[in-house]
């Protein structure tokens, strides 16, 4: 997006959300989305339009324990969050105070919006609760980019054989009708690791590559003997529906409907005509987004853009929407 002017600041947002009652991340007219409610809260508080760039869009029903976004803001608007009489003289201390004020005010508006939304459905929820919440607000350098500076994204897909679903987990765990052979699923996952053309596991977007480096794909029991199975998935980036497609293929192997070699065969064919099935959204959670040290942000941004085949032409829309980094 280029260098910031002296009158602008780049603000990083670390957040979490329960995707159950959201129509995904990306703003859509007439639908409640994470980007929509967060942008509205920020714009209301800062009294000017806000354009968010996100580490990776998530689909309707997908959750996030740790998502990252950023936006650029005029410094006077940001620093007006603290009354002039209360402002520290030190610029860094002032910005930190503004970050704390923004976090507090945004979370207050997100909580109010959640209660009002649930009231429209006829459901009452406890005060002080919300389904989206900022975890941290920080001022970062112009080299930071929530999307392209990221080194990797980590997801967990939670599933359980039929009859073992904990009632309180029905919103974030997918109940599978048959018992699952986790050893077969893990064996089937091994050939998918590494850098490949994942067309059979992605919904491609025009002009974007479906080549990704899959760094982790394994099934393990959830700690505590809950009976829930966790599929840990990690990659440099994900294309649309990639995690849910990977899990969908492994479920077919686990329940005995497909041979262990089938996911690797799909990978080799690289065809949308022989695409993997897509597991339901509600079992998927974005666990974390990791970044290099600040000194490496700029190099990582340039490296990631080259790898994804993007030649940024100055249009803000592609950056704001988060491009093809969408696993759910």
Strand partners, 159: 174, 229
CA distances, 284 to each of 5, 114, 297, 314 (Å): 39, 21, 28, 33
The beta-strand segments (E) located in 210-290 are 211-221, 229-235, 284-290
Task: List the structure tokens of 96.
Answer: 């930190």
Taking the chain, what is the end-to-end CA distance rounded to the nearest angstrom? 26
What DSSP letter does each residue of 73-85 carry, written as one string? EEHHHHHTTS-GG
CA distances, 157 to each of 47, 85, 87, 167, 287 (Å): 38, 49, 45, 17, 10
CB 328 within 8 A of CB 282: no
CB 48 within 8 A of CB 84: no
Going by C-beta distance under 8 Å and a sequence separation of 6 or more, which residues neighbour residue 186? 218, 219
Q: What is the rounded CA–CA span in Å between residue 199 and residue 48? A: 40
193, with CB counted inside 10 A (0-12, 13-18, 19+), is middle
Active-site annotation holds for 59: yes
Residue 178 phi, psi dihedral angles, 5° rounding:
-115, 160
Which of 14, 29, 59, 293 is the catalytic position? 59
- By annotation, the residues acting in catalysis are 59
């Amino acid at each position: 997006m280029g260098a910031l002017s002296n009158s602008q600041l780049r603000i990083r947002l670390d957040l979490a959300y329960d995707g159950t009652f959201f129509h995904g991340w990306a703003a859509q007219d007439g639908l409640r989305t994470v980007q929509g409610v967060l942008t509205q809260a920020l714009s209301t508080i800062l009294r000017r339009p806000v354009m968010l760039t996100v580490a990776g869009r998530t689909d309707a029903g997908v959750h996030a324990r740790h998502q990252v976004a950023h936006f650029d803001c005029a410094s006077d608007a940001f620093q007006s969050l603290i009354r002039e009489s209360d402002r520290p003289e030190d610029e860094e201390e002032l910005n930190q105070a503004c970050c704390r004020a923004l976090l507090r005010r945004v979370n207050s508006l997100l909580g109010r919006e959640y209660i009002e939304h649930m009231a429209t459905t006829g459901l009452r929820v406890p005060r002080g609760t919300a389904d989206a919440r900022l975890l941290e607000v920080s001022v970062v350098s112009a080299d930071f980019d929530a999307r392209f500076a990221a080194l990797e994204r980590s997801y967990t897909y939670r599933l359980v054989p039929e009859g073992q679903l904990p009632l309180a987990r029905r919103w974030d765990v997918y109940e599978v009708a048959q018992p699952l052979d986790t050893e077969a699923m893990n064996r089937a996952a091994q050939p998918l690791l590494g850098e490949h053309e994942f067309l059979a596991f992605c919904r491609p977007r025009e002009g974007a590559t479906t080549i990704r480096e899959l760094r982790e794909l394994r099934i393990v029991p959830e700690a505590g003997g809950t009976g829930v199975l966790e599929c840990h998935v990690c990659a440099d980036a994900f294309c649309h529906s990639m995690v849910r497609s990977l899990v969908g293929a492994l479920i077919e192997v686990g329940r005995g409907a497909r041979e262990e070699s089938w996911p690797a065969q799909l990978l080799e064919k690289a065809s949308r005509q022989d695409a993997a099935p897509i597991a339901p959204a509600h079992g998927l959670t974005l666990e974390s987004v990791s970044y290099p040290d600040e000194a490496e942000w700029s190099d990582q941004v340039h490296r990631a853009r080259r790898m994804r085949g993007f030649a940024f032409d100055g249009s803000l829309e592609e950056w704001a929407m988060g491009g093809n980094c969408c696993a759910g």
